[in-house]
Structure 1
Amino acid sequence: MIIENSLNQNRQLKGEQVFGLGIADALFDGADFLEQSLIWTAAVLGGTLTVERPDVDRGDAWDQAVARGRAIADAKVHGAAPAAYRALDIIAAAKDGDLGAGFDAEDQALADLIMGGELRSGIYAFNLVQKRAKRPAGAPDKALARPVTKVGVVGAGLMASQLALLFLRRLEVPVVLTDIDQARVDKGVGYVHAEIEKLLGKGRVNQDKANRLKGLVSGVLDKAEGFSDADFIIEAVFEEIGVKQQVFAEVEAVAPAHAILATNTSSLSVTEMASKLKNPERVVGFHFFNPVAVLPLLEIVRGERTDDASLATAFGVARKLKKTAVLVKDAPAFVVNRILTRFMGEIQNVIDEGTPVAVAEKAVEPLGLPMSPLVLLELVGPAIGLHVSETLHRAFPDRFTVSENLAAVVKAGKRGFYVYDSGRPELDPEVAALLKQGDVVLSEEQARDRVLDAVAQEIGLMLDEGVVAEAQDIDLCLITGAGWPFHLGGITPYLDRAGISERVNGRKFLAPGVASVPA
């Protein structure tokens, strides 16, 4: 529990769990907790109550607990962050009950870790999430934001339905979905209703609020009927520029002049999307990450003609949605998808050239990422991954490739590279038969260097292009949008301390002391 909870973002235990595990000696109701605690403590001190605790098993059970802790640490960070392993070493050494030696070991571990790069990266990451996220760099004056009293959602698929639910729960204003046929509209509204019922069943909302939320969501086929009085309209339709331009043209024709037109595109140009509209200044990128309810990041994209009032309104809505908003330049794939596509694209290149899949995957394990590149590809969807790589290849053909093997996997209708028949990921034999590889086989270290060099290069170019204000925004995006760990600080602190930034770009991303021991 010491290891597992701390590695799960310091997940806290409830009182019943603490008592059940034997960590606490007594359990009291919340209503009179303080009074009962004092009575219990007085009884123990006065000798009228004896606290009985079972003898600690310092045999096999102790060793098994430490082994279990190491397995959890390996699964979470793959040896990348030292703190959990130092804690396990101390617990293992404490088996003989020498309290003094245990305290001495703790003191030495703390002294070592306080000067370590992982702790400094963790503090840096904490400050990004707790401070920088609350004051987005480049956001316009809040006073310019317009009120949002009704939201329109174009599309009623899974992503659009998730967005409708989020707007409904956070803003508690009318939300209207539209789609191309009634069956889709009904399915989208039905999804929202079903999710509200789940919240009711879990006690997250009461019956009155559930009824009120259900009453606020509706679906129509006619955009004029649904959007004529909407203040904020977001599209979540097929990721093709022509389709999105048509949708915005239809919406602009019926929406009020002040309404914000937002797009959830993951990689397409917001400026191009708005280029044929009469009022392109009110179009903003509003890119969520899936699952919408879990990942905090919201990339807010300013098109070439987006005005401050529209942008301020977008940031105001983001705050009410309780999202971490980062201002992003209108550049291909924005921040997270651009970095992840370069990262995963280089892994795919290594595989295509001849390195075994298992070696390429294992190469990046020392980073301690939440999942391997090909498992992430499965979560995103190979077709979406291929689409984004094609978009970036058109923009930057010298750095982004389109893998023929990935295209073959998509064409075959495979959902990923792995099967899980044994309970663990194993290369799908059908996918293995599709792969056409060269004869260049890299070691894990060579593959890792190549991948990280590519990431460092791409981040350097993004900063030069002004995609975001500073490297800190890159890291904030990766932490909150891709789940990259605190011990990496996102990624730039790791690239700095590993010497990769200077090797690739000739300079570090961060000044000394920002995410490292002060010079």
Structure 2
Amino acid sequence: MSKTAELLKGAAEGFPDEVVTQATVRHLDLPGGAGRFALITLDNGFDHTKPTTFGPQSLTNLDAAIDQVAAEAEAGEIVGVGLTGKPFIFAVGADLKGVEVLKRREDALTIGIGGHEVFKRLSALPVPTFAYYNGAAMGGGVEVGLHCTYRTVSRSIAAFALPEVFLGLVPGWGGCTLLPNLIGADRAVTVIIENALNQNRMLSGPKVYELGIADAIFEAADFLEQSLVWTSAVLRGEIEVVRQDPDRGEAWDQAVARGRAIADEKVHGAAPAAYRALDIISQVRNGDLREGFAAEDQALADLIMGDELRSGLYAFNLVQRRAKRPVGAPDKSLARKVSKVGIVGAGLMASQLALLFVRRLEVPVVLTDIDQERVDKGVGWVHEQIDMQLLKGRINQDKANRLKAAVTGSLDKAEAFSDADFVIEAVFEEMGVKQQVFAELEAVVPEHAILATNTSSLSVTEMASKLKHPERVVGFHFFNPVAVLPLLEIVRAEQTDDASLATAFSVAKSLKKSAVLVKDAPAFVVNRILTRFMGAVLGAIDEGTPVEVADRALAPLGLPMSPVVLLDLVGPAVAHHVAGTLHKAFPDRFGTSENLGRVVEAGKRTLYVYDSGTPELDPEVAALFKVGDTVLTEEQVRARALEAIAEEIGLMLDEGVVAEAQDIDLCLITGAGWPFHLGGITPYLDREGISERVVGRRFLPVGTAGVPE
């Protein structure tokens, strides 16, 4: 047994049973007479939708395959070695299920070293090595290819990334060291930091080639065949791969500085992974790979045993698993077919909904409003967005024509909705208006049609209470911007039946949204928590705390935006309206800010102005404020806000607004953009002891989103 195999065998003892990746060697004669070639295929033996990952046993299998080809190369029996994956999947990195349960730092360090030791053997072989990125490649899947001499990529790849920083790790099997030395520090910062912190943005095959990560690009249909033809040409000297040496001077420092600015903007220093990755990128500007690999090992060991990764994996599992199997959703067999969608309203929200429905469902969508000008404007906006998709090459002309033809407008609800299967209202947030709209709809839609409301805070039960068939009314609450935020709060009113609810979940799935079933309670989940949180901050301002102090109070959490910036995004009028709704329901916990009321009454749409390039309180807003003389520190404001959130979450769970605390975290991550490194909010409240202090209990079992005890 090799030294590396012994190392990995010891690490495997701390791992659970993993999906083991096999590394199969086969031989072939390269075209053009280049010689005998060894091709290693990574395959876990499952169907093509199951990812190929690397845990200790998988790395051991790859190590054994390299043993075989190394002996053949030393004997002069082969001229090169290739590495590829099963159809559609190259490899997606470390086995995170195993990483998640590690309890000792030495085991985490062993995993880092073990991965390096195996992957480095590819670059140490006496013959050239080739990585053929034939499908999805992420994390360690990208990194194993970086250790090869050459790389090709399939044009069809849509998922290629180093997502580690997004989860709370660093690309620790060569990514932080090899990538900047291959494509330059600035491009590496884009892949490792910027893309990862922008909701794990993926690279396409053409982009991988454009960045210089791959040396050649081929079509998917005959990707491996063309890659082997290209390999033969390289080995025969007919093709020379020329790479530009990266700028190791001032440009390198500027790239690292840009990465730090991105990290500061996204996590505000609250999560260490991005900064550790940047430290390594800075460290390897001299091209010392050994030093870089050692730094990656130490960073991996530290971060694997830290809170950020555990919360990141907890959040990742929520988004990848729980969101795809909504708790409490009725049997999908009850869902009715939706072949036409109606939308009441043609404003910006309604237009966004129309665009989403037509793109995802590809069925007729009709908008109505109170006058032709509004209808034309809404339909026109949807058509413009479709044309933009065409210009960007995301759809072809035929599809653009079909989608545009499917979106129409009408002033006549009876004509527009007489054959609609699903009708959603997006009108003014006032109960009387919405009840009137539903009464009009019930008179004209088919008996089977679902009536949905996009209300953000009003009672769906009350909205349906005057209808003959309230059982077909369901809450369908989207978050703005509709195209970006994945969450869809599906609200079951008191009389909503299973068929209507099942249809709502079926539509949500077709829309590619993360649906969470919520009880018909004031403001549901996200808006209720954010309003309580915002109320604590606004209350501190009303008492006399300077706006800038209160606004900085939550910065240590690394939230996507500060409270007042969030208030500006939502809009003072909307925030004040939701606060009023919750004040009526829970007057002892939710107040309304008189200062915010004056801002709304004055017609101010924001609190901040950005003339200087940074947010500053609008002087006209400041003149409207009347404050007391109680000045709180940032720490005091933060404590007040977090304790308020903890209390509200405890009450929501007691009321059964959602099934479990995990649903609250899923809602905040997908509907409010709360960062993965927090795991939502409940892991953070548990770690800080706030949940036990305020509610008297933890929200999650001990060890959840943390190092196992």
**TM-score computed with the length of structure 2 as normaliser:** 0.70
Deviates more, 1:252-261 or 1:336-345: 252-261
Aligned equivalent of 2:650: 460
Q: Determine the structure 1 residue equivalent to 2:685.
A: 495
| Equivalent position of 2:381 in the other structure | 191
The aligned counterpart of 2:277 is 87
CA distance in structure 2 between the aligned counterparts of 1:497 and 1:258, rounded to whole angstroms: 48
State how far apart, in whole Å, the 1-side matches of 2:656 and 2:351 are: 33
Q: Judge which range, 312-321 or 66-75, deviates more.
A: 66-75
In the other structure, the counterpart of 1:111 is 301
Please name the residue that 2:563 is paired with.
Answer: 373
Q: Displacement, 1:356?
A: 1.2
1: CA distance, partners of 2:412 / 2:242? 71
**CA 1:149/1:78 → structure 2, altered by over 3 Å: closer, same or farther?**
same
Equivalent residue number for residue 615 of structure 2: 425
The one-letter code sitting in structure 2 at the alignment partner of 1:420 is: Y
> Does 1:7 pair with 2:7?
no
Alignment-derived partner of residue 368 in structure 2: 178
How far residue 144 of structure 1 moved from its aligned partner, in angstroms, is 1.1
The 8 Å contact of residues 16 and 27 in structure 1, kept in 2 or not, is answered as: no
> How far did 1:424 drift?
2.2
How far does residue 84 in structure 1 lie from its aligned partner after superposition?
A: 0.9
| 1:252 counterpart = 2:442 | yes
Show the counterpart of 2:469. Answer: 279
What is aligned with 1:141?
331
Q: Which protein is richer in strand relative to its size? A: 2
- CA 1:55–1:502: 2 relative to 1, 3 Å: same
Distance of 1:153 and 1:65 partners within structure 2: 47
Which residues of structure 2 form unaligned runs of 5+? 1-188
Structure 2 residue 451 is matched with structure 1 residue 261? yes
- Structure 1 segments, 4+ long, off by >4 Å, are 14-24, 31-59, 95-98
> Aligned to 2:338, what secondary structure does the other structure show?
coil
2:544 to 323, 348, 354: 354
Moved more, 246-255 or 59-68: 59-68
Contact 2:607–2:621 (8 Å) recurs in 1:
yes
Per-residue CA shift, 1:112-154, capped at 9, x if unaligned? Answer: 1111111011111111111111111001111111112222211
Relative contact order: is structure 1 or structure 2 higher (C-alpha 8 Å, sep ≥ 6)? Answer: 1
| Pairing 1:290–2:483 present | no
Does the 8 Å contact 1:28/1:36 carry over to 2? Answer: no
- When residues 516 and 303 of structure 1 are mapped into structure 2, their CA distance, relative to the original with a 3 A threshold, is same
Give the match's secondary structure for 1:318.
Answer: helix
* Partner Cα distance (2:364, 2:199) in 1: 35
Structure 2 residue aligned with 1:484:
674
Aligned: 1:211 with 2:394 = no
Among 443, 450, 466, the residue aligned to 2:633: 443
- Counterpart Cα distance in 1 of 2:621 and 2:407: 43
* CA 153–16 in structure 1, closer or farther in 2 if over 3 Å, else same: closer
Counterpart position of 2:518: 328
1:222 matched to 2:412? The reply is yes
Paired with 2:250 and 2:411, the residues of 1 have a C-alpha distance of: 66
In the TM superposition, what is the alpha-carbon distance from 1:209 to its structure 2 partner?
2.3
Structure 1 stretches of 5 or more lacking a match? none
Is the Cα contact below 8 Å between 2:206 and 2:217 reproduced in 1? Answer: no
Q: Report the 3-state secondary structure (helix = DSSP H, G, I; strand = E; otherwise coil) of the residue aligned with 1:176.
A: strand
SS at match of 1:510: coil
More displaced stretch, 488-497 vs 60-69: 60-69
d(CA) in 1 for partners of 2:288 and 2:361? 57
How much does 1:513 deviate?
A: 2.9
Which one-letter code corresponds to 1:484 in the other structure? Answer: W
Letter of the 2:447 counterpart: A
- Whole-angstrom CA distance in 2 between matches of 1:43 and 1:505: 68
Deviation of 1:481 (Å): 0.8
Once superposed, what is the RMSD of the aligned Cα atoms? 2.1
The one-letter amino acid of 2:510's match is K
Deviation (angstroms), 1:67? 2.2
Describe the shift of the 1:393–1:44 C-alpha distance in structure 2 as closer, same or farther (beyond 3 A). same
SS at match of 1:254: coil
Q: Does 1:316 align with 2:316?
A: no
1:517 aligns with 2:707: yes
- TM superposition shift of 1:60: 3.6
Provide the rounded CA distance (Å) in 2 between the counterparts of 1:225 and 1:20.
Answer: 51
Q: What is the distance in 2 between the residues matched to 1:13 and 1:205?
A: 18
Of residues 265, 270, 282, the one that matches 1:75 is: 265
1:169 Cα deviation (Å)?
1.9
Q: For residue 342 of structure 2, give the secondary structure of its aligned residue in structure 1.
A: strand
- Between the aligned partners of 2:282 and 2:397, the Cα distance in structure 1 is 51
The alpha-carbon deviation at position 22 of structure 1 amounts to: 5.1
Query: How far did residue 98 of structure 1 move?
Result: 4.3
* Identity value in percent: 79
Partners of 2:605 and 2:679 lie apart in 1 by: 31
Contact kept in structure 1, 2:218 and 2:227, CA below 8 Å: no
Structure 2 counterpart of 1:159: 349
TM-score, normalised to structure 1, is 0.94
